[in-house]
Structure formats: structure tokens, C-alpha cells
């Protein structure tokens, strides 16, 4: 599919900059007080993690914007941008300050912000303009993939390197083969038990980068060692672009054209993956991620909620025993996660979980899942 950033650039940047110049004048503080206050609160939380001068620059920059001291805000944000080049929040507010002052560079900064995170546009600003959609995707586009090892193109070889959670030496049975080669262990345990399970459940689904990214879990699996898979599929063909193993406690927080953010089980840190390759690019505190890349107002915006959905039955999917007893009476039942590209490309993706029950022998979840993509 065409990169979502192209559509964003056409649909948002021109309108957002025009609105800032025509309707906001030289005042950003009062209209965006709630969003700016949220950012400043986040800066307070990450002070301990940042160097003192970085924290002070951030504090000054957003305080100046809130106070409508745009000259001082522009100077501070320009300095912060060189220190925090991956911050979509910093680039967005620098773009708005430049636009309000009628200075050059506003559109370029807005482009940069949206390429990092298209959902960073504050709801207050979203309400002032209407997205102009590009032509929809071809009507004939449609495919479906079952999330099991027997699905088309879903082979173990496509997974790439696994994570420590699948190290056979951590399994009781795996330790019996400790003297054998790592390759034998990988094939005997990882492939047999992890990848070829007949059941699976979808934990979350996103089209924040146009191509669907799915967080899903194979079954059966011992709950203590269960991995989950993060998979990206080509929106046109349904072929997997990449897969990553991530621990069962992790959560998919956001998908953007540049970054896939996975929150670790403790909730304290986020691992950032490249959207293009799935390779890790760094780990940051969750408070840093929520302050400078994907603030709470972004996660709550209509653009984001249209493109991102999570299962209502996560406790069941990860085989919490109390959840299994609670839901056993109402099984079987169906669940559908529906998301669409909110930037005008007409793409709809659905993730379907068919909850069948709990096996009385292995006590594992019986659920089948698939994703499908087609026009809206």
C-alpha cells in the first residue's frame, strides 16, 4: 500500500498550518491548555531519567507556549529539537509556533512530526479542519490469513530470530536436550510447540502504518512460557513482512509509519521497533514515550482509536485460570476487532477470534483466529 505518510501530508499539513495562521493568530496557550498541561506533567515525570539541561529545556519550551511567549518558545523548541530528534511532540509544537508567527519551516516541521507519529495532532486542532481523503483502495482488494503455522506464507522460516522467552533451556523438557546442538533444540522444541499450534488468539490489531500489524498468541502453550507474535502483513497481498517474538505480558501500544511501540510487562519501559523491519531500535521509559512521542491525547483521539483495537478478553487469551472458569459458561462465542485507516485510503481490517472453549485434557484454550483486509 501507499505509505500512510503520503496521505497525511496531503490531507493534514496544509490545512493544519493554514488553520494555525488564520484562526489561532498569535495565541496557542488558551486553545491548547489541556494538551500543553498534559505534556508539562509528563516532563515532570521524566526529569529523573533526563539530564538536567534537557529537562529544563523541555520545561521552559512548553511553559513558554502555554504562556503565549512564542518568541521564547520558538528558541527553546528549536534547541529541544536537536536534543530530541525523534520527538513528534516537539516537532509538532515547533511547527505550530512557526505557523502562528508566519515564519518559514512550519510545513517541514509538521511533515516531520507526522512522519514520526500521525496521531500526534491534538484533538483541539483536529476539530478545526476536515481531512480530505485520497481515492479509496481498489474495490477488488481482499484477503484473509489464518494465524497458524499452516496458513499461506506463515512459515517458521519467516519468523527471524526468536527471543529469550523461547529458549528451550528454560523448559523442563528442554533441559533434557541440553547436551545437543542449539539447532536441534530450536527445531525440536521451538518449531514443534510454538509455531505449529492449531489454535491462536488475537490480542490487538493496528493499521496505524496502513499495513496491518497484529499482536497474537499461539495455542496451546504453557502459560508461564507462552510467547506472543507481533506480525506485519502487506496490505495488498497478505504476505507477512516480518514477525517478532515478544513476551506474553507485553502490550502493543502504538503503530506509526516509523515506530512500533511495545510496552513491557512491568509497564515501566517501552521497546521501540522499526515499522519497516521489526528490528528493535531502542528502549525508553513509558513516561518518556507518553510525553514526547505518543501523549495521552494522541491515544484518545478519534484518528488513533479508529486505527487500533484490542481484545476485550486478554485475560482469557493468556489463559488466566479464573478467566477460563468465568467465560466457560458462555463459550463458544465470536469476537471481531475492526479497524480502518483514518487517513482516507479506504482500508478496513478485521481480526476475528472464534472462542471455542477450554480443552478438558490439556486445559488449553481452543480459539481460532484470522485477519482479513478489504475496502471500507
pLDDT digits (tens, 9 = 90+) for 61-73: 999 999 989 999 9
Three-class DSSP category at 217? strand
Whether 75 contacts 57, CB under 8 Å:
no
Q: What is the pLDDT of residue 360?
A: 63
Q: What is the pLDDT of residue 292?
A: 92
Largest separation between any pair of C-alpha atoms in the chain = 72
Cell of 333: 462465542
Q: What is the pLDDT of residue 228?
A: 79
Q: What is the pLDDT of residue 243?
A: 82
Q: What are phi and psi of 135, to 5 degrees?
A: -55, 145
Whether 218 contacts 197, CB under 8 Å:
yes
Q: Which residue has the higher pLDDT, 145 or 157?
A: 145
Please check the confidence at residue 173 and state whether its pLDDT lies above 70.
no
Predicted TM-score (pTM) of the model is 0.82
Element (H, E) at 349: strand 347-358
Residue ranges of E strands in 84-235: 143-146, 199-206, 213-219, 227-233
* Residues 6 or more apart whose Cβ sits within 8 Å of residue 321: none
Q: What is the pLDDT of residue 289?
A: 93
Please check the confidence at residue 337 and state whether its pLDDT lies above 90.
yes
Q: Which residues of 67-96 are buried (b: 16+ CB within 10 A; e: fewer)?
A: eeebebbbebbbbbbeebebbbbbbbbbbb
Please check the confidence at residue 259 and state whether its pLDDT lies above 60.
yes
Rounded average pLDDT over 149-162: 46
The C-alpha R_g of the chain, in whole angstroms, comes to 23
What are the boundaries of each domain within the chain?
A: 4-126, 143-375
Rounded average pLDDT over 140-151: 72
Please check the confidence at residue 316 and state whether its pLDDT lies above 90.
no
Q: What is the pLDDT of residue 180?
A: 45
Question: Please, how many CA atoms are within 13 Å of residue 346, restricted to the half-sphere of its CB?
Answer: 14
Whether 50 contacts 61, CB under 8 Å:
no
How many other β-carbons are positioned within 10 Å of the β-carbon of residue 290? 25
Please check the confidence at residue 192 and state whether its pLDDT lies above 50.
no
For all residues of the chain together, what is the average pLDDT?
78
Q: What is the pLDDT of residue 123?
A: 81
* 4 alpha-carbon distance from chain centroid: 14
Q: Which residue has the higher pLDDT, 349 or 319?
A: 349
How many angstroms separate the CA atoms of 320 and 242, rounded? 29
CA-to-CA dists, residue 216 to 232, 372, 374, angstroms: 11, 14, 20
Whether 222 contacts 240, CB under 8 Å:
no
Q: Which of 110-119, 171-180, 320-329 has the lowest mean pLDDT?
A: 171-180
With bands split at pLDDT 50, 70 and 90, how would you rate the model's confidence at 345?
low
- Ordered strands of the 333-340 beta sheet: 143-146, 365-375, 347-358, 333-340
Whether 95 contacts 106, CB under 8 Å:
yes
Amino acid at each position: 500500500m501507499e505509505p500512510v505518510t503520503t496521505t497525511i501530508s496531503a490531507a493534514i499539513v496544509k490545512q493544519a498550518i493554514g488553520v494555525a495562521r488564520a484562526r489561532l493568530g498569535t495565541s496557542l496557550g488558551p486553545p491548547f491548555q489541556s494538551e500543553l498541561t498534559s505534556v508539562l506533567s509528563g516532563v515532570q515525570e521524566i526529569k529523573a531519567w533526563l539530564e538536567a539541561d534537557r529537562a529544563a529545556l523541555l520545561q521552559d519550551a512548553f511553559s513558554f507556549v502555554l504562556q503565549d511567549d512564542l518568541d521564547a518558545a520558538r528558541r527553546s523548541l528549536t534547541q529541544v529539537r536537536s536534543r530530541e530528534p525523534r520527538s513528534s511532540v516537539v516537532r509538532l509544537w515547533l511547527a505550530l509556533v512557526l505557523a502562528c508567527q508566519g515564519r518559514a519551516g512550519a510545513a517541514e516541521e509538521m511533515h516531520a512530526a507526522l512522519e514520526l507519529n500521525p496521531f500526534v495532532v491534538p484533538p483541539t486542532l483536529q476539530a478545526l479542519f476536515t481531512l480530505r481523503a485520497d481515492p479509496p483502495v481498489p474495490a477488488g482488494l481482499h484477503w484473509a490469513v489464518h494465524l497458524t503455522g499452516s496458513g499461506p506464507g506463515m512459515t517458521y522460516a519467516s519468523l527471524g530470530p526468536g527471543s529469550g522467552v523461547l529458549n528451550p533451556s528454560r523448559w523442563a523438557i528442554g533441559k533434557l536436550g541440553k547436551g545437543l546442538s542449539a539447532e536441534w533444540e530450536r527445531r525440536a522444541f521451538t518449531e514443534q510447540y510454538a509455531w505449529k499450534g492449531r489454535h491462536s488468539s488475537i490480542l490487538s490489531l493496528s493499521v496505524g502504518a496502513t499495513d496491518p500489524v497484529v499482536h497474537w498468541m499461539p495455542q496451546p502453550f504453557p502459560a508461564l512460557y507462552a510467547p506472543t507474535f507481533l506480525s506485519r502483513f502487506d496490505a495488498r497481498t497478505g504476505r507477512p513482512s516480518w514477525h517478532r517474538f515478544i513476551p506474553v505480558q507485553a502490550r502493543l501500544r502504538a503503530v506509526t509509519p516509523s515506530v512500533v511501540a511495545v510496552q513491557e510487562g512491568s509497564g515501566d519501559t517501552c521497546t521501540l521497533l522499526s515499522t519497516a523491519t521489526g528490528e528493535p531500535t531502542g528502549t525508553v521509559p513509558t513516561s518518556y514515550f507518553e510525553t514526547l512521542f505518543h501523549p495521552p491525547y494522541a491515544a484518545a483521539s478519534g484518528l488513533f482509536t479508529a486505527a487500533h483495537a484490542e481484545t476485550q478478553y486478554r485475560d482469557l487469551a493468556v489463559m488466566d485460570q479464573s478467566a477460563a472458569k468465568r467465560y466457560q459458561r458462555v463459550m463458544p462465542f465470536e469476537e471481531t476487532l475492526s479497524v480502518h485507516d483514518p487517513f482516507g485510503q479506504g482500508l478496513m481490517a478485521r481480526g476475528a477470534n472464534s472462542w471455542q472453549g477450554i480443552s478438558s485434557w490439556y486445559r488449553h484454550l481452543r480459539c481460532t483466529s484470522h485477519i482479513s483486509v478489504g475496502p471500507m
